[in-house]
Amino acid sequence: MEKATFGAGCFWGVEAAFRRIKGVKATAVGYSGGTTVNPTYEDVCSGTTGHAEVVSVDFDPAEVSYEELLDVFWQIHDPTTLNRQGPDVGSQYRSAVFFHGPKQQAAAAKARLEKASAFPGPIVTEITPASEFFMAEDYHQQYEEKRRKRLF
């Protein structure tokens, strides 16, 4: 089992996209890349903690490669907008790959270069070592699935 961590805007939809991938064994939404220990959603939304909303992905590399997860990451958001995804604005919504080891770092850097011509502007995705992951509150976990169940 390996771990991947991605920031691509509001973590609700990002988590839902990764949960659909064969080989993804578990996901969790939370906060990474900041300075506050155990931040709350309100703390992160204030923009003062430095955290990004992220999805932690546990995956089986025998079923899905890290490169395939990166492909999904590039497809589900706009990596050319700084601190914004759709209507969500703030550094917590930044595009980020938090890599776990040198192989992931190399793969993310290579993918970023390869994807550069596919977007209308320069890619602003940060590629940085994984920092401590703080789990978001329970009501954020698998939010899209919970919401769909309430609607039907």
Name the catalytic one among 4, 8, 10, 55.
10
- Of the listed ranges 30-34, 76-80, 148-152, the least confidently predicted one is 148-152
**What is the DSSP code string of the chain?**
-EEEEEEESSHHHHHHHHHTSTTEEEEEEEEES-SSSS--HHHHHTT-S--EEEEEEEE-TTTS-HHHHHHHHHHSS-TTSTTEETTEESGGG-EEEEESSHHHHHHHHHHHHHHGGGSSS----EEEE----EEPPGGGTTHHHHHHHHH-
- pLDDT exceeds cutoff 70 at 150: no
- Note the pTM of the prediction, 2 decimals: 0.93
Average pLDDT, the chain: 94
> Domain segments of the chain: what residues?
2-151
Kindly list the distances between the CA atom of residue 47 and the CA atoms of 5, 34, 36, 83, 138, in Å, as whole numbers in the listed order: 20, 10, 11, 11, 21
Q: Which CATH class is domain 2-151?
A: alpha beta
> Does 10 participate in catalysis according to the annotation?
yes
Look at residue 144 in the predicted model and tell me its pLDDT.
82
